[in-house]
């Protein structure tokens, strides 16, 4: 497959829309994140993604990972090891990690941009360092200084990788049910025993060591999710001996075949407690929250790759004539991009990707502000946005990553269904992003069940205030459409307050359409902002007329053809739970 990082679009969002070149370097600790540094990083990242990582995407899918039951080892597809080494050596694992442990201490936002490019190029390969990043975050936030000193430097350098070991055969969503045990040992360590499944990068040949972060229960643990502790369990101990944390096999999956998804057996493996006893879920959520944002970026990345492939096809493939009469009479047929229905599929991808990119980068920048801003007020405000929008970014962008990949496949006809083109793999790979790190249904429940009510509804109030502020801008296009969408979201929120607080099943019945309604409203906001910038540039005589005109056209398409879904979503929400709950078990 070929991939070209959409640098101009990325820069447009980061600098022209979100002013990242002013906001980020103004944050204490991020003084180095100048536009020059960020541009250099983007250019380097693009090269790596385009020339090293993307060429391994198809072959990685065909080869898959190999498990050897004799040695309990896993071989990743050809070229992955070398590409990962280059990724680490070029500093990508260290990018946003703490300087005191060898990191570069750059903003998280830059990781986000890198994640998009890497996941466009090769989702399976991108997952290995992606999980390490989560482990670094949890360890940084909750680990003792001793553990940090022992493990962070090599995780940050990329010499070692990390995992998150949560799921067990009988429990995924409901972690209160886990059975893995941790027995305290005389030396202060713990003996961990149990079986974990769905462990990304649980075993592989990319790095010298693997650091597992494992949820387990202490002997005196209270029942349910309040009795879970987090442990660090390395594959190799510091004396070089092999810790009995073995891969028991690989999952056979629909996609992400280059990513080793392992069954892990901990057989009295030596581990150390991270954070306080029984408070592992809290630490795990630090990993989860940044991981959820990143999974949203995976959806965006795949959508972009599918868009590029299908756009190229639509501009080359000749079939039938334009409905308005031959466009290229000297050719046997016109290119299929002349057809309104093909354009519908292309523009759905384009408008969703570019709007979704603004939403995702915005949320990432809020994360940086939440961590590094000087004033507590600023930090709180930004954290409110992160809390509210993280489930939206995760669920909406992964749903749309899958839908966009499918639009790409569809417009390519039979070609899209064959393995001669990369799009069928994008569809298969994208499918899991709607499930892992909390299914999109769980994201929606997180939004309506936790985030809306947080701090008396403050995050949502601030979200609305931000949109209302923008609506005052007389030069902003599409404010009418945005206001109409906001009114529907407000109406849905009111419905939730009146019905969902006394009856949690009402909230549960509204969750998925509510999340989508919020996402579409957020995208309407960002499209209005982007159109505002584009309009201004054109008025000021920018030479990039095609680029800015395209933004205006995409904004208009979004408002005309995608945003109307908000009507049906509101109706669906207000219809409530009755038609969902009436059917008895026997009647199904």
Q: Answer yes or no whether residue 579 interacts with a copy of itself by CB under 8 A.
A: yes
Quick one: which of 444, 517, 519, 523 contacts a copy of itself (CB under 8 A)? 444
Kindly list the distances between the CA atom of residue 238 and the CA atoms of 211, 243, 538, in Å, as whole numbers in the listed order: 12, 10, 61
Q: Answer yes or no whether residue 565 interacts with a copy of itself by CB under 8 A.
A: yes
Reported for 137-142, long-range contacts at CB under 8 A and 24+ positions apart, including other chains, are 137/286, 137/287, 137/290, 138/213, 138/230, 138/274, 138/283, 138/284, 138/286, 138/287, 139/213, 139/232, 139/274, 140/97, 140/98, 140/101, 141/283, 141/286, 142/230, 142/274, 142/275, 142/282, 142/283, 142/286
The burial of 474, by beta-carbon neighbours within 10 Å (0-12 exposed, 13-18 middle, 19 or more buried), is given as: exposed
Q: With respect to a copy of itself, which residue has the nearer C-beta, 33 or 507? A: 507
Quick one: which of 146, 208, 341, 536 contacts a copy of itself (CB under 8 A)? 341
The position carrying tokens 């990788």 is 161
Q: Can 203 be counted among the known catalytic residues?
A: no
Q: With respect to a copy of itself, which residue has the nearer C-beta, 387 or 509? A: 509
Q: Answer yes or no whether residue 358 interacts with a copy of itself by CB under 8 A.
A: no
**Least spacing, CB of residue 116 vs a copy of itself, in Å:** 20
β partners of residue 66: 75
Q: With respect to a copy of itself, which residue has the nearer C-beta, 96 or 507? A: 507
Closest by CA to 363, choosing from 5, 103, 13, is 13
Take residue 19 and report the two structure tokens written for it: 């002013």
Q: How many residues bind a copy of itself, per CB under 8 A?
A: 99
The position carrying tokens 């609305």 is 464
Map residue 273 onto helix, strand or coil: strand
Q: Answer yes or no whether residue 553 interacts with a copy of itself by CB under 8 A.
A: yes
Q: With respect to a copy of itself, which residue has the nearer C-beta, 134 or 143? A: 134
| Annotated active-site residue in 168, 354, 400, 437 | 437
Tell which positions 23-82 bind a copy of itself, by CB under 8 A.
none
Quick one: which of 196, 204, 339, 532 contacts a copy of itself (CB under 8 A)? 339
Quick one: which of 76, 309, 528, 554 contacts a copy of itself (CB under 8 A)? 554
**Least spacing, CB of residue 244 vs a copy of itself, in Å:** 25
Q: With respect to a copy of itself, which residue has the nearer C-beta, 385 or 427? A: 427
Quick one: which of 40, 66, 99, 177 contacts a copy of itself (CB under 8 A)? 177
Q: Answer yes or no whether residue 147 interacts with a copy of itself by CB under 8 A.
A: no
Closest by CA to 347, choosing from 552, 585, 59, 495, is 552
**Phi, psi (deg, nearest 5) at residue 162:** -120, 160
- Segment (H or E) for 193: strand 190-200
Quick one: which of 133, 235, 292, 350 contacts a copy of itself (CB under 8 A)? 350
Q: Answer yes or no whether residue 543 interacts with a copy of itself by CB under 8 A.
A: no
Quick one: which of 439, 457, 462, 471 contacts a copy of itself (CB under 8 A)? 439
**Least spacing, CB of residue 142 vs a copy of itself, in Å:** 25
- The strand pair at 261-274 and 190-200 is best described as antiparallel
Kindly list the distances between the CA atom of residue 319 and the CA atoms of 93, 246, 341, 423, in Å, as whole numbers in the listed order: 46, 54, 13, 20
Closest by CA to 218, choosing from 188, 246, 243, 190, is 190
Tell which positions 510-539 bind a copy of itself, by CB under 8 A.
511-512
Q: With respect to a copy of itself, which residue has the nearer C-beta, 278 or 350? A: 350
Quick one: which of 22, 43, 78, 173 contacts a copy of itself (CB under 8 A)? 173
Q: With respect to a copy of itself, which residue has the nearer C-beta, 166 or 365? A: 166
Tell which positions 180-219 bind a copy of itself, by CB under 8 A.
198
Tell me how far the alpha carbon of residue 455 is from its chain's centroid: 26
Tell which positions 492-511 bind a copy of itself, by CB under 8 A.
503-505, 507-509, 511
Q: Answer yes or no whether residue 461 interacts with a copy of itself by CB under 8 A.
A: no
Tell which positions 253-282 bind a copy of itself, by CB under 8 A.
253-255
Q: Answer yes or no whether residue 342 interacts with a copy of itself by CB under 8 A.
A: yes
The catalytic site residues sit at: 437
């Amino acid at each position: 497959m070929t991939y070209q990082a959409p640098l101009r679009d990325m820069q447009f969002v980061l600098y022209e829309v979100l002013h990242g070149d002013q906001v980020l370097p103004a944050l204490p600790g991020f003084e180095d994140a100048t536009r020059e540094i960020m541009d250099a990083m983007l250019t380097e990242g693009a090269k790596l993604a385009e020339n090293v990582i993307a060429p391994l995407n198809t072959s990685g899918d065909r080869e898959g990972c190999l498990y050897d039951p004799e040695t309990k080892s896993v071989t990743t597809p050809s070229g992955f090891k070398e590409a990962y080494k280059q990724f680490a050596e070029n500093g990508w694992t260290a990018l946003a990690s703490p300087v005191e442990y060898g990191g570069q201490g750059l903003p998280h936002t830059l990781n986000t941009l890198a994640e998009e490019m890497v996941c466009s190029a090769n989702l399976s390969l991108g997952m290995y360092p992606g999980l390490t990043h989560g482990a670094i975050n949890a360890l940084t936030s909750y680990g003792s200084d001793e553990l940090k000193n022992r493990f962070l430097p090599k995780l940050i350098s990329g010499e070692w990788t990390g995992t998150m070991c949560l799921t067990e055969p009988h429990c995924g969503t409901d972690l209160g049910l886990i059975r893995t045990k941790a027995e305290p040992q005389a030396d202060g360590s713990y003996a961990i025993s149990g079986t974990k499944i769905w462990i990304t990068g649980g075993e592989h040949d990319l790095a010298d060591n693997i650091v597992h972060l494992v949820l387990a229960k202490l002997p005196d643990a209270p029942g349910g999710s309040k009795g879970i502790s987090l442990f660090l369990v390395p594959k190799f101990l510091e004396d070089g001996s092999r810790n009995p944390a073995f891969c028991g096999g690989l999952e056979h999956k629909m996609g992400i075949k280059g990513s080793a998804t392992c069954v892990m057996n901990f057989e009295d493996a030596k581990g150390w407690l991270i954070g306080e006893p029984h408070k592992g879920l809290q630490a795990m959520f630090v990993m989860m929250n940044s991981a959820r944002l990143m999974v949203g970026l995976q959806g965006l990345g795949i959508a972009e790759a599918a868009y590029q492939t299908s756009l190229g096809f639509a501009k080359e493939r000749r079939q039938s004539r334009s409905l308005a009469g031959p466009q290229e009479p000297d050719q046997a047929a016109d290119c299929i991009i002349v057809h309104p229905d093909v354009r519908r599929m292309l523009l759905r991808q384009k408008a969703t990707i570019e709007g979704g990119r603004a939403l995702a980068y915005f949320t990432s920048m809020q994360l940086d502000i939440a961590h590094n801003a000087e004033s507590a007020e600023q930090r709180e405000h930004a954290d409110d946005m992160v809390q509210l929008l993280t489930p939206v970014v995760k669920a909406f962008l992964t749903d749309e990553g899958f839908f966009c990949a499918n639009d790409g496949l569809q417009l390519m006809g039979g070609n899209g269904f064959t393995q001669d083109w990369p799009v069928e793999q994008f569809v298969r790979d994208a499918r899991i992003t709607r499930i892992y790190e909390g299914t999109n249904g769980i994201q929606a429940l997180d939004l309506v069940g936790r985030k809306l009510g947080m701090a008396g509804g403050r995050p949502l109030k601030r979200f609305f205030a931000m949109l209302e502020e923008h609506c005052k801008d007389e030069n902003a296009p599409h404010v009418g459409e945005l206001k109409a969408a906001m009114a529907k979201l407000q109406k849905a929120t009111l419905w939730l307050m009146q019905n969902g607080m006394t009856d949690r099943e009402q909230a549960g019945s509204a969750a998925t359409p509510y999340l989508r309604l919020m996402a579409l409203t957020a995208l309407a906001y960002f499209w209005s902002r982007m159109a505002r910038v584009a309009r201004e540039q054109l008025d000021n005589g920018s030479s990039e007329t095609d680029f800015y005109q395209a933004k205006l056209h995409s904004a208009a398409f979004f408002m005309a053809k995608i945003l109307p879904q908000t009507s049906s979503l509101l109706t669906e929400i207000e219809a409530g739970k009755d038609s969902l709950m009436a059917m008895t078990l026997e009647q199904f």
